[in-house]
Amino acid sequence: MKLTINGESRETAEGATVLSLLEELGFRPEVTVVERNADILERATYSDIALADGDTLEIVRFVGGG
């Protein structure tokens, strides 16, 4: 299925969840915020939310530094 992630088109497998997509992209879910179709998702629900063709995601990860 086709998704838009941070403004770029990307293909992923049918039946993918937010969690499986984050793992595929190499993001650590515990330090990542996901907005799906303009709604910010709760981290605890990432494994329960199935993605749909045409979804738009914004993915932001926290990076420490000094």
Q: Which CATH architecture has domain 2-61?
A: Roll (3.10)
Cα–Cα distance measured from residue 66 to residue 23, given in angstroms and rounded to the nearest whole number? 27
Beta-carbon count within 10 A of 22 CB:
20
Residue type, 23: E
- pLDDT of 26 reads 95
Q: Identify the three-state secondary structure at position 2.
A: strand
Domain ranges for the chain: 2-61
Q: Is 1 helix (H, G, I), strand (E, B) or coil?
A: coil
Question: pLDDT by residue (tens digit) across 5-61?
Answer: 999 999 999 999 999 999 999 999 999 999 999 999 999 999 999 999 999 999 998
Is the model's pLDDT at 66 over the cut of 70?
Answer: no
How far, in whole angstroms, is CA 14 from its chain's centroid? 14
